[in-house]
Amino acid sequence: MTVRKSLPLFSFIPGLSVMDRYIIAELIPPFLFGMGMFSSVGVTIGSLFDLMRKAVDEGLPATLVLKVLLLSLPQFMAYAFPTSVLLATLLTYSRLSSDSELIALRSCGVSIYRLVLPAILLSFIITGVTFGFNEYVVPASNYQATLTLERALGEEKPAFKERNIFYREYGEVEQADGSKDNLLKRLFYAQKFDGERMKGLTILDWSQQGLNQIVTADSAIWNIAQSTWDFYNGTIYLVAPDASYRNIVRFEHQQLQLPRIPLDLARKDRDYDEMNITQARERLELERQSGDEDDIRKLKIRINQKFALPFACVVFGLVGGSLGNRPQRTSKATGFGISVLVIFAYYMLMAIGDALGLSNYLPPLISAWLPNLMGFAVGGFLLIRAAR
């Protein structure tokens, strides 16, 4: 077996043998090829067709279409990192097997586990790259792509929620026997919001035993100086413990000590794919205070998926390395076919885990990591079987 000269590119990694450097160097070209292929396919299927239809219908200039496509590319590149690792490991180890290089290494006493180690090492490096890329590049790029297209189509949406702002405040409510339970304390609803002023408001207050206050108002704004709400042209209905009206107070201007959270919820302006982990966690804290369990569960799943997706590189590196080390010779066409099947199975498991998590059949953590857990189990089984 002829071993190529080790590349200086990997000299910064201590402890690598000549074999490790050689295998990693062999993995790089098919990985780069896979990045280009899977990214371009993703952009073509995910964005190009819909964008071209809009460009024809609305007469968008070619430069703007190209800009939106380029801004959409990072999201598909983030998905292409793991799939490219799979393709690279399958093709590289299959070629080494076809050229009898793996047989020569095995005859020198090198185990299957040792042969797969360079692929796992490279997978961990690409995992770190994927995490940084998915955290710092993809959300900002998606957000800019959305804004660019909306402006071009004249459909630019305001950076806030315009209608139906709900806020549910939970807290300890004193009961008739003197005990306190964590119950719904206050319900805040506004029909419209223009970025500064809430309109058509109704507040139901259970902060004491029973429903003791209903507030309606034409409008309200947040008073930054006094950290309170200024309500205008409204009515306060005071309710007795027996649910009868105790008093009715009409006002032109009234200050009420309510949380600022409804304003923060109304000003949320990014979709899940347009937020990094820090922004998603800030949104999660707001949703927790609002008590919307569906949104809370969905955000928890999305945050865990941002950690789980980069580790798909390690899963695919393990699976690809194990399959590529089989004694049967595998052609490039077969390697492509196996890659497509493994990728389809992984993303099908991701969709299943997402559905089970959103339906509350699985905890968010398990839901997000389900494809990786299954992938590690399958990859470990294949590796042990190949080592026999």
pLDDT in the model for residue 2: 44
**Are 41 and 63 found together in one domain?**
yes
Give me the residues paired with residue 250 across strands. Answer: 235
Distance CA 249, CA 234 (A): 9
- Looking at residue 1, its pLDDT comes to 42
- Same structural domain, 138 and 53: yes
Query: Within this chain, do residues 112 and 178 fall inside the same structural domain, yes or no?
Result: no
Measured distance between the N- and C-terminal CA atoms of the chain, rounded to whole angstroms: 23
Rounded CA-CA distance 22/101 in Å is 11
- Identify whether 300 is part of a domain: no
CB of 89 closer than 8 Å to CB of 26: no
Residues 191, 260 within the same domain: yes
Q: Which of 238, 265, 292 is the last residue of a domain?
A: 265
Q: Which residues contact 186 (CB under 8 A, 6 or more apart)?
A: 168, 169, 171, 203, 204, 205, 206, 207, 258
Residues 18 and 149 in one domain: yes
Q: Would you say residue 5 lies in a domain?
A: no
Residue 143 shares a structural domain with residue 169: no
In a shared domain, residues 168 and 87: no
H/E element, 174: strand 163-174
pLDDT tens-digit series, residues 56-93: 666 667 777 778 778 888 888 888 898 888 888 888 88
109 in the same domain as 183: no
Provide the H-helix boundaries in 137-163: 138-153
The answer, yes or no, to whether residue 249 has pLDDT greater than 50, is yes
Q: What is the pLDDT of residues 207-232, one digit of tens each?
A: 766 667 888 999 999 888 888 899 99
169 and 39 in a single domain? The answer is no
Residue 311 lies in a domain: yes
The more confident residue out of 303 and 75 is 303
127 shares a domain with 24: yes
Q: Which domain holds residue 335?
A: 14-153+305-387
To the question of pTM greater than 0.85 for the whole model, the response is no
Q: What is the pLDDT of residue 175?
A: 63
pLDDT over 90 percentage in the chain: 15
Segment 254-277, tens digit of pLDDT: 888 888 888 877 766 677 888 889
β-bridge pairing 197-205 and 213-223: antiparallel
pLDDT for 373 equals: 94
- In this structure, are residues 75 and 307 in contact, taking their beta carbons and an 8 Å threshold? no
Q: How many domains does the chain have?
A: 2
Q: Is residue 9 one of the residues assigned to a domain?
A: no
Asked if the model's pLDDT at residue 359 lies above 80, the reply is: yes
> Stretch 175-180: mean pLDDT, rounded?
66
Burial class (CB within 10 angstroms; exposed 0-12, middle 13-18, buried 19+) of 21: buried
